[in-house]
Copies of this chain bind each other. A is one copy, B any other.
Amino acid sequence: IPNSSLRVSPLLTDLYQFTMAYAYWRAGRHNEPAVFELFFRDNPFGGGFSLFAGLSDCLMFLRNFRFKKEDVEYLRSVLPSDTDPDFFTYLKELDCSAVSVSAVSEGTVVFARVPFLEVSGPLAIVQLLETSLLCLVNYASLVCTNAARFRLAAGPKRRLLEMGLRRAQGPDGGLTASRYTYIGGFDLTSNALAGRLFGIPVTGTMAHSYVTSFSSLEEVWPQTLVPSRGGDPIDLICLVKGWLGRVCQLLGTKPQRVREGELAAFLSYAIAYPQNFLPVIDSYSVSCSGLPCFCAVALALCQLHYQPLGIRLDSGDLCRQSVEVRRVFRECSNHFTVPAFESFIIVCTNSVSEQSLAELNKRDNEIDAVGVGTHLVTCTSHPSLGCVYKLVEVRGCPRMKLSEDPEKSTLPGRKAIYRLLDTEEILQATKWTNAIVRESSYTISQVR
C-alpha cells in the first residue's frame, strides 16, 4: 500500500502533551528513556477480538515528525507566557530519530489488555506522540475489525463492497475506512480516491438520480449501437422495444406500467457502456418497470454479443426480491435461450448491518454481492475502540497508574506478548489469514 501522501502535522495532538513536555524539559527529564504501550481495555462489538491497523500511518507520521516554524510560533502564542523561550528552540529541532516502535504486524488479531504497539524513546517526545498515534490506530483498527466481522457474517464467497464515504467523518475518515475495510476483508470500494491512493479495486455504475433524470426515449442519444463483433450500427431503441414486448408477455406485466424514463436511462447507459451494464432497478417499481426494462435491454445487448453484468437492488425486502429476480433471469434464459442470463449478478445495498448480513444467510436469497456504507464506516454498534497509550517504564523502572476505577489501573513494566496455538488453532489462524487478510505483507503473527 503506497503512502497516502497526507502529511499529519505533529501539532495534531492534545495541548497538554506540550505542557507536560515543557515540564519534563524544565526539570531536565525530557531525555530520560521511557516506554509507552498501546492497547484497548475491551474487545469491540461485544466480540472476542480486534484487528490491529494503522501501523503504516503511524510509521509515516514518525518519519515525518518535525515542527514547522509556524507550528512553534502558534505554540508560543498559546502556552503560558512564562514558558522558557529555549523550549521552543528545543521543539524546532525535535524529530523521532531516537524513538523505537515495536508492534505486531498490520492486520494482526489482537485482544483486550494485550499491548500491541510499544513506543520507546526520550520521555518528552514519546509523550508528545500519544494523541496522534491513538488517533491513527483507533479508528483504523476499529473499522478494520468491523469489516472482518462483516466478512465473517457474509461468508467467504459473497463479494463485499465498501461504499461509506458519504457517511464517514469527513474526507480522510472516508479514506481510512476504504483502506482498512479492504484489509479487513472487503473486496471493493466505491471511493475513487481510495482506489488511486491505495490501489483498492473500485466499482460502481449508477444511482437513482441517473435513472430519474430521464423522462423520455427522446433523451436517448445516440440511439444506435455497433455489435460487439463489428458490423453496422443497430437501432437499439427499436430492438429493445421489441424485446420489452416479449418480456412483458413472458412475465405477465403490463407494458404501459413500464416507466419510459427508466427505459431511456437503461438504454442510454447500455449505449455508453455496453460491457458494463448493471443498473439499479428500484427507482420506481422493480416488478412492473425496473426488471422488465433490464431484461429487455440485456436481451438486446446479448443479441449484439455484449455481456451485461447484472442488477442492483437498493430498497425493500432484499432476500425476497433477489429470489424473484433470479427466477425471472432463469425464465428468460430458458424461454429466450440466452444462457448469459444465468450468470448475472445481483447486488444489494440498503443500510446493511452485520446483523442483517447474518440474517441473509438464514433466508433464501440469491444475493451475490453486498454494498455496505453507514454501518460499516460509522461502526454503529460500537463507534470507538478506546485504545489507550500508557506509560509502563521510565529509566528502566516500571510505572503504573492506580485509579478510582480499578479497571483503569495499568499493569506496570514492559511486556512480552506471545500466543500459544494448538494444531486446531493453527488451522483456524490459517483460515483467518485467508479470509480476512488481503495483503501478503499482512500476516497473523503468533509471537511478537
- Residues of chain A touching chain B, judged by Cβ–Cβ distance below 8 Å, are 6, 8-9, 11-20, 22-24, 26-29, 34, 36, 70-71, 74-75, 78, 80-83, 123, 127, 130-131, 134-136, 138-140, 143, 163, 165-177, 190-193, 195-196, 202-213, 215, 219-222, 268-269, 271-276, 282-286, 315-317, 321, 350, 374, 377-380, 383-387, 389-391, 394, 397, 399-405, 408
Task: Determine which residue in A71, A283, A378, A380 has the highest number of CB atoms from chain B within 10 A of its CB, and name it.
Answer: A378
**Are the CB atoms of A404 and B282 closer together than 8 Å?**
yes
A20 proximity list for chain B (CB < 8 A): 205-207, 209-210
With a cutoff of 8 Å between Cβ atoms, the chain B residues found around residue A271 in the complex are: 26-27
Name the residue of chain B whose CB is nearest to the CB of A387: B166
Contact B391 A384 (CB under 8 A): no
In contact, A273 and B390 (Cβ under 8 angstroms):
no
Which residue of the partner chain B has the closest CB to A393? B213
Write the nearest CB–CB distance from A309 to chain B, whole angstroms: 11
Report the bound CA distance from A103 to B376 in whole Å: 30
When distances are taken between beta carbons in the complex, the residues of chain B under 8 Å from A408 are 315
Chain B residues with Cβ below 8 Å from A130 are 166, 207, 209
C-alpha gap A107/B263 in the complex (Å): 42
Complex CA–CA separation, A282 to B386 (angstroms) = 20
Residues of B within 8 A of A374 (CB): 384, 386
Closest 5 CB pairs of A and B: A316-B404, A16-B204, A169-B173, A169-B169, A134-B166
Between-chain CB contacts (< 8 Å), 6 pairs: A15-B202, A24-B213, A80-B276, A136-B170, A169-B172, A208-B401
Given contacts A127-B209, A212-B400, contact A22 B272 (CB under 8 A): yes
Contact yes or no, B276 A19, CB < 8 A: yes
Question: In the complex the two chains form, is B170's CB within 8 Å of A23's CB?
Answer: no
Judge whether B12 and A193 touch: CB under 8 Å: yes
Within 8 Å CB of A209, what residues of B? 20, 36, 127, 130, 389-391, 401
Min CB gap A230→B, angstroms: 13
The residue from B36, B192, B383 contacting A380, defined by CB atoms under 8 A apart: B383
Is the Cβ of B283 less than 8 Å from the Cβ of A402? yes
Q: Once the chains bind, are B273 and A22 in contact (CB under 8 Å)?
A: yes
A196: B residues at CB distance < 8 A: 11, 70-71, 74
B195 and A168 contact, CB distance less than 8 A: no
Chain B residues, Cβ within 8 Å of A285: 402, 404
Q: Bound complex: CA of A34 vs CA of B192, how far in Å?
A: 24
